[in-house]
Amino acid sequence: MKKLRNIVLAAALLMGGWQAAMAEDLTIAGLGTLPLDSRISITDGKDNVMVDLFKKETKKMGYGKTARALMWSMLAVPPGMNLYPEKAPYPYDSLHLYQLVKRTVSGTYTAAVFVFSGTEDDFFHEGGRKAALFWRDAFREDAGRPTSLFGMPKISTAEFQGFLDEMMKEKGDGSRAVKILTFNPWHAFRDGDGTYHWSQEAKVIITNEKGLSYPLWVYTSLYKEGNRYYLIEVNGSHEAADALGDSLVYGLYQLKRSSK
């Protein structure tokens, strides 16, 4: 499957296999429920054919070393985690896909929600052991919780753009470009119940191998419940960010954990 991810997403939203769930809450098995605006409808794509295509594509030998995988890793994956390992366990096997839709007088706005879950061994078994130690403590509710990513100062948008450009160049992929418009790097947020989650957000313009450009909003959050991590990645247009962003952020802060 050589199509760009945005094309695959568009097809996924149009094809069958989605189970309508007109509701204002997004429930993630094992983690809890995110309360959302009542005007947002949620469709469950667990059995959609595109889920299997994503799993098959990301398991191909060498996929994790491609420019495409690098781009998504930097935009949406916590540093040190590996969504594209060469050997099992494969984090994509846990993928659960949802669609958010909000209809207003000004238009209809959609976003895809990718949910991954797994233990430390699932996400860090290839390299990343030092990162695993960091993320192990990143959700503590006492003074032992780190207040910045690996103790480093906050990276600027220009620095992140330069780093991304250099990494893409090293991959030898001059046909793909990512222009960072806005960027809020990984940071810990205190939730309404006193627990913590980490989030990163970016609005970018991606130019593909055919010279076609499209806007993309990427909002990713990482939670921990017991010994399992839950990675929630939201993809949509810049307009979808404006329409859905506030409700999404509220839901992330007000997560109602299943364990409480």
Whole-structure pTM value: 0.90
pLDDT for 174: 65
- 61 burial via Cβ count (<10 Å: 0-12, 13-18, 19+): exposed
pLDDT for 195: 96
In angstroms, rounded to a whole number, what is the distance separating the alpha carbons of residues 156 and 183?
8
pLDDT for 49: 85
Helix axes 49-58, 5-14, angle to 10 degrees: 160
Q: Most distant CA pair in the chain: distance in Å?
A: 50
Omega within 30 of 0 (cis) for the link into 89: yes
CA 220 to centroid of chain Cα atoms: 4
Question: Tens digit of pLDDT per residue, the chain (260 long)?
Answer: 434 444 444 444 433 444 444 456 999 999 999 999 999 999 998 778 888 999 999 999 999 998 889 999 999 999 999 999 999 999 999 999 999 999 999 999 999 999 999 999 999 998 788 999 999 999 999 988 998 898 888 999 999 999 999 988 887 766 678 999 999 999 999 999 999 999 999 999 999 878 889 999 999 999 999 999 999 999 999 999 999 999 999 999 999 999 87
Based on DSSP, count helices (H) and strands (E) in the chain, helices before strands.
7, 11
pLDDT for 135: 96
pLDDT for 4: 40
Distances (CA, A) of 158 to 12, 90, 155, 220: 34, 33, 8, 20
pLDDT for 39: 92
**Contact in structure between 163 and 180 (CB atoms under 8 Å):** no
pLDDT tens-place string over residues 8-31: 444 444 334 444 444 569 999 999
